[in-house]
Amino acid sequence: DAKTTQPPSMDCAEGRAANLPCNHSTISGNEYVYWYRQIHSQGPQYIIHGLKNNETNEMASLIITEDRKSSTLILPHATLRDTAVYYCIVGEYGNKLVFGAGTILRVKS
Amino acid sequence: GAVVSQHPSRVICKSGTSVKIECRSLDFQATTMFWYRQFPKQSLMLMATSNEGSKATYEQGVEKDKFLINHASLTLSTLTVTSAHPEDSSFYICSARVGRGAPGVETQYFGPGTRLLVL
């Protein structure tokens, strides 16, 4: 079973920041937080991952709380092409990924 | 990033026939590949873990005799759906894991998926 809890859906206005929350209260010390997204009828796309420090790359930022029980994925300037299902996954680095239901993000103009 | 391809992208077959799906890592070697299945409006479900040169490890509830996995080289894994039936119709997705390296590197790359329709 997935170890994360995400809201089923969220809306975001185009050009605004999209903040996607994820709860992972049972995360263990050696487990990473991964974010992937899946655009309709395509394979998942990697976004970002982190262990305990905040991370940023060209796609997004990942904010992990100090107790590591929750995290937030931030898309700084959402576009219509960011409409997708976003999956938050916890697991040991390099091991299998168990997908939960994810959050459907709808970016609207 | 690294590229994973799947072939075919879409296949239609008759009930009772077998279908082979290929997963290739195009510009890197993958000692481990994963196979997922996704039904409409559902999340991805991990079917099995495929390690090069050894037998695949199947998730609970996945029939290993029905879903044959072969990982004969560091760039190719195949999934064969044997005696396919309409309930096997689904979106099959593979992923390839880059060898354990620095944590700053992405761990898994996903293929574009193969849509199987069994009539």
Query: Each residue of A40-69: pLDDT tens digit?
Result: 889 999 999 999 999 999 999 999 999 999
For an interface test with B, which of A3, A96, A99, A103 has the most B Cβ atoms less than 10 Å from its Cβ?
A96
pLDDT, mean over chain A: 93
User: In B, which residues are within 8 Å of A32 by CB distance?
Assistant: 103
Which residue has better confidence, A92 or A71? A71
pLDDT of residue B100: 54
How many Å apart are CA B107 and CA B94, to the nearest integer? 14
How many Å apart are CA B65 and CA A97, to the nearest integer? 23
Residues 6 or more apart in contact with residue B3 via CB below 8 angstroms: B25, B26, B27, B109
How many Å from the N-terminal Cα to the C-terminal Cα in chain B?
Answer: 37
CA distances, A57 to each of A49, A60, A106 (Å):
10, 6, 22
**B103 confidence band (pLDDT: 50, 70, 90):** very low
Is there a contact between B110 and A44 if contact means CB atoms under 8 Å apart? yes
Least confidently predicted of A8-22, A68-82, B92-106: B92-106
Is there a contact between A49 and B106 if contact means CB atoms under 8 Å apart? yes
User: In B, which residues are within 8 Å of A45 by CB distance?
Assistant: 110
Whether pLDDT at B102 is above 60:
no
**B54 confidence band (pLDDT: 50, 70, 90):** confident
How many Å apart are CA A99 and CA B14, to the nearest integer? 30
Helix (H) or strand (E) holding B33, with range, is: strand B32-38
Mean pLDDT of A30-38: 94
Q: Which residue has the tokens 């890592």?
A: B25
**B2 confidence band (pLDDT: 50, 70, 90):** confident
Q: B62-97, pLDDT tens digit by residue? A: 999 999 999 888 899 999 999 999 999 999 999 998
A101 in contact with chain B, both atoms CB, cutoff 8 A: yes
pLDDT of residue B105: 56
Whether pLDDT at B99 is above 60:
no
